[in-house]
Amino acid sequence: MYLQIMEQIRHRIAIGDWQPGQEIPSIRALAVAVKVSVITVKRAYLELEREGVIVTRQGRGSFVSDTVDLGKSLRNQMLDEHLAAAADIGRELGFTPEELEVRLRALTTREQDEQ
């Protein structure tokens, strides 16, 4: 369950809702806001601290880490998860990496045409 909360927080940082250096809600406040137990949010904060995504300063609260390209590397990480899954499926279906590239490009341009 804490994994879902970690994902939500990464997402907020990746899309820029929470900026580097910005103070984030206390564990209890976020728990009440998203209606999930305090212990789940606490666990998510601990893991994100370990990953260096957020920092907690004793008695002052928790902040998004100052690391500059955090948003970008998180965006990469989120995209990579989906691409890795697509790559796995492609391999199972017998596509070569080159064919996958072509498929991806075709789909990207089609989406743009539709917009």
Partner 1 sequence: MSECVVEFNGVNKAYRFFELRDVNLRLEAGQIMGLVGPNGAGKSTTIRILMALVQQDGGTVRVLGHSMPDDQAAAKRGVGFVSEDMGLYGGETLAWHMHFIARVYPSWDPDYARLLQRRFNLRPEQPIKGLSHGERVKAALLLVLARRPRLLVLDEPTTGLDPVARHEILNELMEVLSDERRAVLFSSHHTQDVEQISDQITFMDRGRIIDSSDKETFLERWRRIQLDVPTGIVLPMLPGVIDVQTDGRLAVATTNAYAPGLDAAYVRAGAVVREVQRMTLEEIFVANVMSSRKEVA
Residues that bind partner 1 (CB under 8 A): 1-2, 28-29, 31-32, 35-40, 43
Query: Smallest gap, in angstroms, from Cβ of residue 32 to partner 1?
Result: 5
Instruction: Find the largest Cα–Cα distance for the chain.
Output: 55
Q: Return the number of the residue (37 or 77) whose C-beta is nearest partner 1.
A: 37
CB 92 within 8 A of CB 35: no
Q: Return the number of the residue (14 or 27) whose C-beta is nearest partner 1.
A: 27
Query: Smallest gap, in angstroms, from Cβ of residue 107 to partner 1?
Result: 29
CA–CA gap between residue 62 and residue 36 (Å, rounded): 18
Q: Return the number of the residue (18 or 45) whose C-beta is nearest partner 1.
A: 45
CB 10 within 8 A of CB 53: yes
Q: Return the number of the residue (20 or 25) whose C-beta is nearest partner 1.
A: 25
CA–CA gap between residue 39 and residue 99 (Å, rounded): 46
CA–CA gap between residue 51 and residue 68 (Å, rounded): 15
What are the tokens at 106? Answer: 């075709």
Query: Smallest gap, in angstroms, from Cβ of residue 34 to partner 1?
Result: 9
Query: Smallest gap, in angstroms, from Cβ of residue 91 to partner 1?
Result: 17
